[in-house]
């Protein structure tokens, strides 16, 4: 720990002093040291790779009018000075055509934070990881099975942040995750079942997930799906599994509440948003059962969006995005918060490694309701239960979506009956969340991890968290994708 | 101020690679080794709401080391190139390899090869001043302002240099530039919008004013969109609009996002193409090559283990003709020969063609506008968005249109319409192509697969729902 923190302290002084001498309005510096270990087995073929990187990103505001950013892996005084001067040159160029940039105020912090870890995944022998993966892949063998894939990824990130406002923050996070995929061919084509989870935890997560038992269940499912009937078409009540609700929250709430896209800064790639600032506090986003939070604090759980400070030094917070169905909050940066008159950013600036921070989801979660899962099923007369995402697509303003899932069951008179293959549903976001009439309680609520959210130009991949429970929606368009 | 020139860095790369290779050899103590040393310089001027919002410069290096010992292999990659860090990286790879199971597909390292030259480095691109690029962006912003619109987008350049060496004597390298200019002009929270894209290897290929003109022209047309009913429509798809769609032709979500056109996937039965070699799966006017040497293509002339890439006719007149292959496949299967489509090893996923070129009969010199003239009634699509696989056998995908969907009647654009969702089989689409335009280069999804593809006029595209805007 101390070597990265010490290096950060030393090199940040170079960057901050260099920018200050050139009269920068504001400067921040992030040093990021990351280690990533990926191990997988596909059918009987093993693969492991470890990636390490160490670099610095320097962001400079010049004249209060223009931003510049440069990153470098040249970790010495000259390299940092050169990157800072490059960021300054870009900021000066941007300032020539810029307009006044305001910042929401944030206290400066001097702090250290380490994520809680029970079992350091990098101390677990590789032999043990391969033993577990091979066991899972062996258990997924069966007639018709053409793909058996298992993998783990472990990541350690140390980052040191310093700003010209006086913040000096060191954080260390350890993330773990893994998943299984099995695919089988049969009379209905190729069916897939999968299971995955990613959290801000150590190897204890892998122990908790009980992958060997899941491998057996997935194999049984995928074989059964090859003989399952097609999902009926029409308007039905649907109950989504908690992991599918997590992705629905990510796509239809998490992205449209990003304030940079709501203000138009992402129009060329990620898109715009139907949730514009003029709708804040006014638009009924969903039914009164729908409460969604943006919560980066550890109290929310060890999610992929959990941290102590974001990548512009704002302390982690919990805020509502949707309260009793009403749209009430954005994911913000200090600059965009000021643009919409908010006194403070809620700390959502995040960067892939030491690249430029942009507004990203933290943990955007659907709060648990009060429905017991069994009671929700018993209360459903004519519906489809849909489990685990297969594909997802949504328009650039986050209105029109279509999701298909890996497996489903017909619910008839309060009872889960025959399996259906490839159940899919589609809708328009506010209508869909407006049809939500039951959210599972805390017993069924899980903080899911999404390890692969793309945004930005050049595109950055971010990790996000989404708490969710099984949830029911009334009168939704459903169909069988296969 | 002065920065290290990427050209200077390039000329030093061979020397650095050999120095590091010697270190790795001494640390690996008899293990077979392969190293790849790469540098990337990325410069991007990003703008939104008629403002220059993100000016970025990124300079990265990566050393990747593969070690093979006792029938096992592993890879470790680092951005740290000091001798002690290189030693740590080698030790990590060795320790992972020793702890791993024997690799049933492990082969000796590939020996020296002869390569066809590809010239893809242009100093004009590598050294283009930020002021020049900012000037082009400023022009687009001025045009947007004059027309009551907001310009957003990015002008990005990349300089890549890579050197590969292994303990069997292989040595190869690649140096290249590429970039793109992506521009949206919109108003009314995107209810009025137009889009244009141009890619380049040599900056001279970029006509920034034409990009701005196209985005503006489309934004002017795409206002007050009319309603449209879901159903089957004939379509003209702009050549820049659909590279992401083609990505799903070669990668299967059903098989856990593994590639489809490789011999290993085919033989293991996990590709939608398995058992279909020689079968007609598309219209006879469609041929698809993997051709790293095509003048519009990008990237190196060798694969992940340094094997020279072959030009490969994947689809010939609609028939599945051949598969991407590798030394592993040739070792496993008597009827396979290496074609240079391996990913960096160890690679349990299989081979992938990542230099796709669609050759369609009659596409020479015809513009996308001329395709519109041939459309009796249907839709012109200028951009497709958020494409995902729905059904693997027919390669049915879903997605949305965005930034300009136009109703065409008797060869003329009649009116803009709201964005529509489609559920469309790619094999069916490629069976119903009636005409194509001159191909363009599209930098593919995540920049990994470059597609050379024409615009198409196709019958019966299946639209299933409509967005509120």
- Min Cα separation A50/chain B (Å): 5
Which is it for strands A110-114 and A168-186: parallel, antiparallel or unpaired?
parallel
- Closest-CA residue of chain A to B133: A93
Q: Which of A73, A99, A265 is the closest to B61 by Cβ?
A: A73
Q: Residue A145 — very low, low, confident or very high, per pLDDT cuts 50/70/90?
A: very high
Question: Where is mean pLDDT largest: A2-11, A383-392, B244-253?
Answer: A383-392
- Min Cα separation A319/chain B (Å): 25
- Element containing residue B451 per DSSP (H, E): strand B450-453
Residue A88: predicted pLDDT: 98
Query: In terms of C-beta density within 10 A (0-12 exposed, 13-18 middle, 19 or more buried), how is residue A13 classed?
Result: middle
Count of residues making up chain B: 469
What part of A 62-121 touches B (C-beta under 8 Å)?
Answer: 66-75, 82-83, 85-87, 89-91, 93-94, 97-99
B268:A43 CB<8 A = yes
Residue B5: predicted pLDDT: 40
Residue-wise pLDDT for A226-239, tens only, equals: 999 999 999 999 99
Residue-wise pLDDT for B203-260, tens only, equals: 999 999 999 999 999 999 999 999 999 999 999 999 999 888 888 999 999 888 889 9
Q: Indicate the domain borders of chain B.
A: 6-219, 224-466
For the cut 70, the answer to whether the pLDDT of residue B382 exceeds it is yes
The CA-atom distances, in angstroms, between B253 and each of A389, A473, B257, B390 are 11, 26, 4, 9
For B140-186, give the secondary structure using H, E and C. HHHHHHHCCCEEEEEEEEEEEEEEEEECCCCEEEEEEEEEEEEEEEE
Which residue of B256, B276, B419, B426 is the best one to mutate when testing the A interface, meaning the one whose CB has the most A CBs within 10 A?
A: B256
B446:A459 CB<8 A = yes
What does the alpha-carbon distance between residue A393 and residue A404 come to, in Å, rounded to a whole number? 9
Residue-wise pLDDT for A80-107, tens only, equals: 999 999 999 999 999 998 889 999 999 9
Instruction: Work out the average pLDDT over B422-449.
Output: 87
**Residue B33 pairs with which residues in a beta bridge?**
B67
What does the alpha-carbon distance between residue B215 and residue B194 come to, in Å, rounded to a whole number? 5
Answer yes or no: are the C-beta atoms of A433 and A325 closer than 8 Å: yes
Which residue of A34, A45, A312, A403 is the best one to mutate when testing the B interface, meaning the one whose CB has the most B CBs within 10 A?
A: A45
Q: Which of B3, B55, B99 is the closest to A127 by Cβ?
A: B99
Give the SS3 label for residue B112: coil
- Strands in A164-281 per DSSP E: 168-186, 189-199, 229-230, 234-240
**Cβ count near B38 (within 10 Å):** 19
Residue-wise pLDDT for B170-217, tens only, equals: 999 999 999 999 999 999 999 999 999 999 999 999 999 999 999 999
Residue B254: predicted pLDDT: 87
For the cut 90, the answer to whether the pLDDT of residue B374 exceeds it is yes
What part of A 345-384 touches B (C-beta under 8 Å)?
Answer: 355-356, 358
How many alpha carbons lie under 13 Å from residue A185 in its C-beta half-sphere? 14
Residue B4: predicted pLDDT: 41
Task: Please tell me if residue A479 touches chain B, with a CB cutoff of 8 Å.
Answer: no
What does the alpha-carbon distance between residue B115 and residue B306 come to, in Å, rounded to a whole number? 10
What part of A 302-341 touches B (C-beta under 8 Å)?
Answer: none
Query: In terms of C-beta density within 10 A (0-12 exposed, 13-18 middle, 19 or more buried), how is residue A86 classed?
Result: buried
Residue B2: predicted pLDDT: 32
Interface contacts A/B by beta carbons within 8 Å = 280
Rg (CA), chain B: 24
Residue A43: predicted pLDDT: 94
Residue A482: predicted pLDDT: 82
Residue-wise pLDDT for B49-58, tens only, equals: 999 999 999 9
At CA B245, angle to CA B239 and CA B247, rounded to 5? 110
Instruction: Work out the average pLDDT over A238-244.
Output: 98
Give A143's DSSP letter.
T
What does the alpha-carbon distance between residue B53 and residue A351 come to, in Å, rounded to a whole number? 16
For the cut 90, the answer to whether the pLDDT of residue B414 exceeds it is yes
Residue-wise pLDDT for A105-140, tens only, equals: 999 999 999 999 999 999 999 999 999 999 999 999
Answer yes or no: are the C-beta atoms of B180 and B29 closer than 8 Å: no
Instruction: Work out the average pLDDT over A148-160.
Output: 98
What does the alpha-carbon distance between residue A469 and residue A447 come to, in Å, rounded to a whole number? 9
B268:A146 CB<8 A = yes
What part of A 237-276 touches B (C-beta under 8 Å)?
Answer: 263-269, 271-272, 274, 276
Give CATH for domain B6-219: 3.30.2290.10
Give the SS3 label for residue B358: strand
What does the alpha-carbon distance between residue A226 and residue A222 come to, in Å, rounded to a whole number? 7
The CA-atom distances, in angstroms, between B235 and each of B227, B365, B436, B461 are 17, 20, 11, 7
- Closest-CA residue of chain B to A260: B48
* Structural domains of chain A in order of their starting residue, each with its CATH number: 2-227 (3.30.2290.10), 230-480 (no CATH)
What does the alpha-carbon distance between residue B416 and residue B218 come to, in Å, rounded to a whole number? 10
**Contacting residues of B for A90, CB less than 8 Å apart:** 55-57, 130
């Amino acid at each position: 720990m101390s070597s990265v923190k010490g290096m950060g302290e030393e090199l940040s002084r170079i960057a901050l002093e260099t920018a200050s001498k050139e009269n920068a309005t504001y400067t921040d510096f992030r040093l990021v040291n990351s280690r990533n270990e990926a191990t997988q087995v596909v059918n009987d073929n093993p693969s492991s790779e470890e990636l390490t990187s160490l670099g610095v990103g320097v962001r400079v505001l010049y004249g209060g009018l223009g931003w510049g950013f440069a990153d470098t892996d040249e970790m010495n005084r000259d390299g940092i000075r050169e990157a800072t001067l490059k960021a300054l040159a870009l900021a000066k160029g941007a300032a020539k055509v810029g307009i006044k940039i305001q910042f929401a105020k944030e206290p400066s912090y001097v702090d250290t934070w380490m994520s809680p870890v029970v079992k350091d995944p990098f101390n677990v022998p590789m032999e043990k990881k391969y033993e577990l993966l091979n066991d899972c892949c062996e258990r997924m063998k069966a007639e018709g099975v053409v793909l058996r894939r298992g993998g783990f990824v472990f990541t350690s990130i140390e980052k040191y942040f310093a700003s010209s406002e006086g913040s000096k923050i060191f954080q260390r996070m350890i993330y773990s995750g893994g998943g299984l995929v099995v695919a089988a061919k049969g009379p209905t084509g190729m069916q897939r079942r999968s299971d995955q989870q990613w959290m801000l935890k150590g190897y204890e997560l892998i122990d908790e997930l009980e992958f060997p038992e899941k491998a057996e269940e997935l194999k049984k499912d995928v074989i059964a799906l090859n003989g399952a009937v097609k999902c009926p078409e029409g308007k039905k009540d649907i109950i989504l599994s908690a992991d599918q609700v997590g992705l629905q929250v990510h796509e239809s709430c998490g992205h449209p509440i990003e304030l940079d896209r709501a203000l138009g800064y992402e129009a060329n790639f990620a898109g715009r948003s139907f949730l514009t600032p003029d709708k804040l506090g006014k638009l009924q986003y969903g039914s009164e059962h729908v409460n969604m939070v943006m919560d980066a604090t550890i109290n929310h759980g060890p999610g992929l969006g959990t941290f102590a400070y974001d990548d512009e030094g704002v302390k982690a917070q919990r805020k509502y995005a949707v309260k009793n169905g009403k749209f009430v909050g954005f994911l913000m940066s200090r600059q965009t918060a000021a643009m919409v008159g908010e006194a403070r950013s809620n700390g959502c600036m995040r960067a892939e490694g030491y690249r430029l921070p942009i507004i990203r989801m933290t943990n955007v979660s659907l709060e648990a309701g009060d429905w017991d899962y069994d009671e929700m099923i018993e209360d459903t007369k004519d519906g489809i239960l849909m489990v685990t995402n297969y594909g997802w697509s949504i328009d650039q303003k986050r209105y029109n979506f279509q999701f298909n899932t890996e497996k489903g069951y017909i619910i008839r008179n309060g009872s889960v009956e025959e399996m259906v293959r490839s159940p899919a549903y589609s809708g328009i976001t506010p209508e869909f969340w407006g049809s939500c009439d039951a959210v599972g309680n805390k017993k069924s609520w899980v903080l899911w991890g999404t390890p692969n959210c793309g945004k930005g130009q050049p595109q950055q991949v971010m990790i996000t968290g989404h708490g969710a429970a099984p949830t029911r929606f009334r009168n939704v368009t459903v169909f069988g994708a296969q | 101020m002065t920065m290290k020139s990427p050209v200077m860095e390039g000329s030093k790369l061979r020397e650095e690679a050999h120095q590091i290779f010697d270190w790795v050899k001494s640390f690996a103590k008899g293990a077979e080794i392969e190293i790849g040393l790469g540098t990337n310089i990325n410069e991007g001027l990003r703008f939104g709401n008629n403002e220059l919002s993100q000016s970025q410069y990124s300079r990265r290096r990566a050393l990747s080391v593969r070690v093979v010992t006792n029938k096992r292999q592993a890879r470790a990659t680092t951005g740290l190139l000091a001798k002690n860090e290189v030693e740590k990286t080698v030790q990590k790879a060795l320790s992972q390899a020793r702890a791993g199971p024997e690799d049933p597909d492990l082969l000796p390292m590939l020996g020296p090869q002869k390569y066809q030259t590809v010239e893809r480095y242009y100093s004009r691109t590598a050294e283009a001043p930020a002021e020049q690029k900012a000037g082009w962006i400023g022009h687009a912003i001025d045009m947007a302002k004059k027309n009551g619109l907001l310009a957003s987008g990015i002008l990005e350049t990349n300089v890549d240099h890579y050197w590969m060496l292994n303990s069997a004597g292989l040595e190869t390298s690649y140096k290249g530039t590429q970039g793109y200019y992506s521009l949206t002009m919109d108003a009314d929270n995107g209810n009025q919008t137009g889009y244009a894209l141009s890619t380049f290897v040599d900056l001279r290929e970029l006509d920034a004013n034409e990009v701005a003109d196209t985005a503006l022209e489309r934004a002017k047309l795409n206002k007050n969109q009319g309603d449209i009913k879901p159903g089957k429509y004939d379509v003209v798809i702009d050549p820049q609009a659909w590279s992401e769609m083609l990505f799903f032709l070669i990668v299967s979500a059903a098989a856990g996002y593994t590639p489809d056109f490789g011999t290993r996937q085919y033989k293991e039965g996990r590709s939608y193409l398995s058992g279909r070699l020689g079968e007609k799966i598309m219209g006879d006017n469609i041929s698809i090559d993997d051709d790293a040497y095509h003048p519009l293509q990008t990237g190196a002339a060798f694969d992940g283990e340094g094997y020279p890439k072959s030009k490969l006719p994947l689809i010939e007149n609609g028939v599945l003709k051949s598969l991407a292959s590798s030394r592993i496949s040739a070792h496993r299967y008597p009827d396979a020969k290496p074609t240079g489509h391996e990913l960096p090893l160890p690679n349990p996923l299989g081979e992938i063609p990542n230099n796709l070129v669609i050759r369609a009969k009659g596409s020479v010199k015809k513009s996308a506008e001329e395709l519109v003239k041939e459309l009796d009634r249907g839709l012109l699509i200028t951009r497709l968005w958020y494409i995902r696989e729905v059904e693997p056998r027919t390669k049915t995908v879903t997605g949305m249109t965005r930034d300009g969907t136009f109703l065409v009647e008797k060869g003329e654009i009649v009116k803009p319409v709201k964005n529509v969702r489609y559920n469309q089989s790619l094999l069916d689409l490629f069976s119903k192509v009636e005409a194509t335009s001159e191909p363009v280069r599209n930098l593919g999804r995540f920049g990994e697969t470059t597609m050379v593809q024409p615009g198409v006029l196709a019958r019966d595209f299946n639209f299933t729902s409509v967005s509120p805007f």
